[in-house]
Structure formats: C-alpha cells, structure tokens
Amino acid sequence: MGKRDWWRSIFFRRFGFWPKRTRTPRGLKPRGLRIECLAPREMLAGDVLLTGFYGDGTQWVVNYEVVGEDAEPFEVAIYRSGGGGANDSLVASAQVSKPADLTAGTGHSLVINAAFADIQADYVLVARIEADVKPRPSTAVEPAQTNDSRLFEGGGFLTLEGTLHVHGTGGNDQVTVAVADNGGVRVRLNHVWYAYKPQQISSIHIRTHQGDDILTTSALVSVPIWVFGGGHPECLRQRWHVVQLHDHRLVLRRPVEQDRQCHAS
C-alpha cells in the first residue's frame, strides 16, 4: 500500500469506514496444487500374425501382418516336423528388425533362403515366431490373437547345393517333371510351372503329402528324384501305381482310398 492510500485509510477510519478485504467465501477452503512425477509412457507392441507360408520356386515366403501398434523386432523360424511336434528340428531362421517391416498393417512379406541337408523321410514344414522373441500383444486387441505359426502351403524352393524341393498341398495335387527346351528342368505343381537351368538342379525331392495325387515324370530327366507320398513309410511302395508308361514318361497315381487303408493299418 502506497503512502497516499495509507493516509486515505486513516481518514475514513475516523468516520467508522473500513476498507474492504478479500475473504474466502463460506463453505470453500483454499486448496493447494500438487504436481506428481509420472512414469514414462510405454508404447504397446503390436501382435504379429502369420498369414501365409509357401515356396515361390526359389525361396520360402512368409506373409504376416502387424495388428495394433508397430511391432518390436522378432524372429521367424522354419522347422521340419515329422508330426506331433516331437521330432521338430530347426532348419532356418530370419530376423525381422527393419522399421518398415514392423509397421502396423497388412501385406508384409519375409523371404528366407533354404540351406539345410535333406533326410530320406517324409515331413512337413512349419513357420513359427520364436517364443522368446515374440512381440508382446497389444492390450487394445480383443480377443488376443495367437496365430504365431503356419503350416507350409505348398510350392517349390531351392537349397544352396541345388536340390529342388516340391511340396504339395493338403488336397489333390498334380506334379509334372519334364525337360525344358534349354536342357534344364521344368516342374509343374497344379497350375504353376517352375523352370530351371541345367546347372541349377542337382536333384529333385517331391513330397505330395495328403490327397489323391498324380505324379508324372519324364525318363529324359537325368537328375535323381525322391518321391514321398505322406503317411506311414511302410505304405509308400503300396500307394504309388504306374497308370501310364509311354513316350518316355512315367505316371504314378496314389488313390486316396488306399491312403486311408494305410493310415488305418
């Protein structure tokens, strides 16, 4: 309060006038403002769902999508499974760590080169997200997705030593092996043809799996060919029947009825 204001207050007090004071309204109490330190905001990792696993004729292709937020880096492993998960063995793996491959959305693809020694037995291939590096699901996705594995859907792929692997589907497949015009090998799986140069192929390993399958091979193909028809190994020789043999071609057919008998025995 300045000197002039102080003089005025004394002057009015002599006549019974008091200056007004700011008071707290009845029923209200003065409150203080307290600021608390909050924990840093944690971004939720998106859930990765495998949507496809097939061979494009040369490599493995794994399709996936990221649901929710962007995903954290993860690893996709390829296993060779003899059935039941007891005889699974790791044959390849690949790390996904680029930011563009971890963004939320669909249409992501991962290409993996096959480099493993094959065995003389029938098996299936399974792609899985490794459990110890699997991204934590986002709490915004309800219900939680658990599609972190995918069975091989068929197709062809090459290993580094030149073995061409051809895997059929779960249905009725038609596989054809023929000589290409350039002296190489042409392979057809249902409606898809694969062509290879002579120096690319050292052997062909065919696994048609289940279904009423037909395999046609040419006697002019000089590379070794393995054929596995699925099911119990003891039934393999009983399953395949020669239904056509002319023009240097060998046609094998496995009736699905006999396949069922082998599984039942």
pLDDT (tens digit, 9 = 90+) per residue, 132-189? 555 444 333 333 334 789 999 999 999 999 999 999 998 889 999 999 888 899 999 9
Contacts of 222 (CB under 8 A, 6+ apart): none
pLDDT band at 24 (very low <50, low <70, confident <90, very high): low
Overall pTM > 0.85:
no
Q: Return the SS3 of 249.
A: strand
Q: Which strands form 155-158's sheet, in the order they lie side by side? A: 105-112, 60-67, 47-56, 155-158, 163-167, 203-207, 225-228
Domains of the chain: 44-153 (2.60.40.10), 154-265 (no CATH)
Please report the beta strands in the chain, taking only residues with DSSP state E, as ranges in sequence order.
47-56, 60-67, 74-81, 89-96, 105-112, 124-129, 149-151, 155-158, 163-167, 174-179, 185-189, 192-196, 203-207, 213-218, 225-228, 241-246, 249-254
Judged against a pLDDT cut of 80, whether residue 83 lies above it is answered with: no
**Tens-digit pLDDT profile for residues 46-80:** 689 999 999 999 999 999 999 989 999 999 999 99
Q: What is the pLDDT of residue 141?
A: 33
- What does the alpha-carbon distance between residue 98 and residue 12 come to, in Å, rounded to a whole number? 80
- Whether the Cβ atoms of residue 167 and residue 187 lie closer than 8 Å to each other: no
Give φ, ψ of 207 to 5 degrees. Answer: -130, 105
- State how beta strands 174-179 and 185-189 pair: antiparallel
